[in-house]
Structure 1
Amino acid sequence: MSRVIACIDGVGERASGICDAASWASLRLDAPLKLLHVLDRSQYPTETNLTGSIGLGSREALLEELADLDEKRGKLAREQGRLMLDAARDHAVADGIAEPEVLQRHGDLVETLQELESDTRLLVFGRGGSAGETLGRNVEAVIRALHRPMLLLPDDFKAPERFLIAYDGSPTSRKAVDMVAQSPLFTGIPCDLLMIAPSTNDVKLELKQAQEKLTQAGFDVTAEILAGDVEQTLLNEVVMRRADMLVMGAYGHSRIRQMLVGSTTSNLIRQTRVPLLLLR
């Protein structure tokens, strides 16, 4: 059975917000919740080879002492991870999850998530740092590597009372609308469907078709076409419409695709103050 997987490490977020978001999604999707902590092997290697970094005249005792310190550091990190998972499990139970699973791995975060991808219905993780700070080093790598829906959190989480879909008519964004329409994740929550493009007849028809699909699925939808810079307009409209979540297709072949490549991806993830749901 596909699970909601909450990654509570590697991106510097408070685990409580990630647990709240993952618990909300788990209950809405009626999917099991798995809490994941990955101990990065690049920072905590299982074996330490220092023979080339000290010099020929160094004593063997020093090498052994340094290796012992690395081993102790790794043990402390593993124990800290276990404590994080215990706290996250208690938090999820308090959120209403009956039996959340926990998993600790020692390895590479992206590789671990790829191994779990076939069992992942939704991945929940933090963007790394607060607004204005450098993104967590794993965030973009995860986005590019996985082909599952991903919910990125800025900080704390609140259950959305309204969400905004960034739509551009591309196959990727059409698929995103289909996924929203077919999923119980947003059932009963009003949404705004927004296109940022010239208001041509083709664009109007594309928007109307997407709106009808969501309306037929039972959504209360407000649809609009706006002009302007895609990235900044989206950020402004999220605030003006009081949307609690931004939803978009990832890596479409359109103007919106420009936001999901290179530095613009970082800008959007860093600047938005609401969770960002990327649909693949």
Structure 2
Amino acid sequence: MTHVMACIDGSASSTAVCDFAAWASTRLGAPLNLLHVIDRSLYPQKGDLSGNIGLGSREHLLEQLAALDEQRGKLAFEQGQLMLSAAKERVMASGIATVALQQRHGDLADTLHELEADIRLLVIGKQGDASPSAGQPMGSQLESVIRSLHRPILVTPNIFSAPQSLMLAFDASATTHKGVEMLAASPLFKGLPIHLVMVGPDVASNWQPLEHAASVLAGAGFEVHKALVQGDVEPALHEYQASHGVDLLVMGAYGHSRIREFLVGSTTTSMIRTSASPLLLLR
């Protein structure tokens, strides 16, 4: 069975990640899995020093360094266990009955790619434990995760508030058409009003796909507010979201360009960096 996967790393966003993951798990009726990945680059596993025989005092120094790395790795493992235990207590206090815990050693994006088949929704903080609150508003590993994972990703801010409305940034691409179908079929946002917003000229060729998408969502029982707004994409979406009090943004992770099949779309990256609300990325 696929589950909601929450990435726990001890950063300022981890508490909100727990709360959003518990909220999503309840709404989806899906089991919850808490994951902590020990970064291989920061905590390497014990190395093989057999190739250093004959280096004299340098060999002894390397052995001491290896022992230190091993000790640091053990401490990181124990710290991760404590974080996972605290996270489990928090989500169970919110009503989640069963929680699975996983701890891995390696690269976060690679680990999630290996686990992808079992993930229904990934919940991850906007800022990781290596990202200061100022100067680096997006976690250093987040972009790699978005590129590698072909599952919906909920990127959370540092404070949890249960979403009461959402906005789908619609651009008539295959990704957003699929996103409309996903939203219509998923229980995640059932009962919440959806604002379907497209940025572009006020012409019939834009209204036609917008009207069709709105009819699909309305047919699934959603209250739909559709809008065609002008201006640059990012500020226009932010302005609409703020003026209508929408507290969750949904958008595709990629644009039309083939180059963006390999790189996160520039609009997507910028929206993640500047958005103060949770953002659901569709793949």
CA distance in 1, matches of 2:141, 2:105: 15
> Partner of 2:9 in structure 1?
9
CA distance in 2, matches of 1:134, 1:52: 42
How big is each residue's C-alpha offset from its partner over 1:10-55, in whole Å with a ceiling of 9 and x where there is no partner?
8x343210000000000000000000000011111112468999xx
> Where does the alignment leave 5 or more consecutive residues of structure 1 unmatched?
none
**What SS does structure 2 have at the residue aligned with 1:243?**
coil
Ranges of 4+ aligned residues in structure 1 off by more than 3 Å: 48-53, 56-61, 129-132, 260-266
Q: Does the aligned pair in 2 maintain the 1:173–1:252 contact within 8 Å?
A: no
> Partner of 2:233 in structure 1?
230
TM-score (normalizing by structure 2): 0.90
> Where does the alignment leave 5 or more consecutive residues of structure 2 unmatched?
none
TM-score (normalizing by structure 1): 0.91
Q: Does the aligned pair in 1 maintain the 2:165–2:248 contact within 8 Å?
A: yes
Q: Shift in Å at residue 170 of structure 1? A: 1.0
Cα 1:198–1:264 change in 2 (3 A) is closer
> Partner of 1:119 in structure 2?
118
Q: Shift in Å at residue 263 of structure 1? A: 5.4
Q: Shift in Å at residue 132 of structure 1? A: 4.8
> Partner of 1:155 in structure 2?
158
Matched, 1:139 2:142: yes
Q: Does the aligned pair in 2 maintain the 1:41–1:106 contact within 8 Å?
A: yes
Q: How does 1:54-133 map to 2 (within 5 A)?
A: 58-128=57-127, 129=131, 130=133, 132-133=135-136
**What SS does structure 2 have at the residue aligned with 1:121?**
strand
The aligned length equals 275
Q: Does the aligned pair in 2 maintain the 1:34–1:103 contact within 8 Å?
A: yes
CA distance in 2, matches of 1:193, 1:181: 13
Cα 1:131–1:177 change in 2 (3 A) is farther
Task: Work out the percentage of aligned pairs sharing the same amino acid.
Answer: 54
Tell me the amino acid that sits aligned with residue 41 of structure 1. R
Q: Does the aligned pair in 2 maintain the 1:171–1:252 contact within 8 Å?
A: no
**Alignment RMSD (CA, Å):** 2.3
CA distance in 1, matches of 2:218, 2:134: 35
